[in-house]
Amino acid sequence: CTTPPFRAAVRLNSGVRSLWSATVYIFRTHLENIEMVTRLRKHALNRKPKLEIGDRVLVSQTIASGDVLQPIRYVMRYFRTLPDLHDETLSIWGKKWPYIMEFDTCHRLAKPFDIRDVQVSNHNYGPGGPIVRVHPADEYAIDKLGLLGYAAET
């Protein structure tokens, strides 16, 4: 993950909440897409999500057979969602999606985790499609456990 050119504009917007006061979501993506999602800091969707600038997004790889790594491996900060008017999603992922989300930061987590191992709520994270809001109690647990620390960039 690298810093995009529009990051400075986000910092200058005085209405942006800090990274640590934002709502947390989990976005699921398949193994074959995670590299492009994190490298480009973009995610394609069928519907426009109701996120606010600065919301934290935990990128979770859908669990593949034989994969021993924890599914939540990255944290990104939401910037905006745009309609895909120029087939950008088709050129990136080989499939046309109506919306493309952009993020202003992306960091590999120092200690990837599975939400089921840290959750304190009874929230069911199984259903819900590609986007699931993290229950506030689980958000608190994630922060208290320090799970959003970044790995050293190479």
Residues in CB range of 138: below 8 A, 6 or more apart? 115, 118, 119, 120, 121, 123
- Residues 46-82 have pLDDT tens digits of 999 899 999 999 999 887 656 677 889 999 999 999 9
Structural contact between residues 73 and 111, judged by C-beta atoms closer than 8 angstroms:
no
53-63 burial by CB neighbour count: b if 16+ within 10 A, else e? ebbbbbbbbee
- Residues 17-52 have pLDDT tens digits of 444 457 999 998 888 888 899 999 999 999 998 999
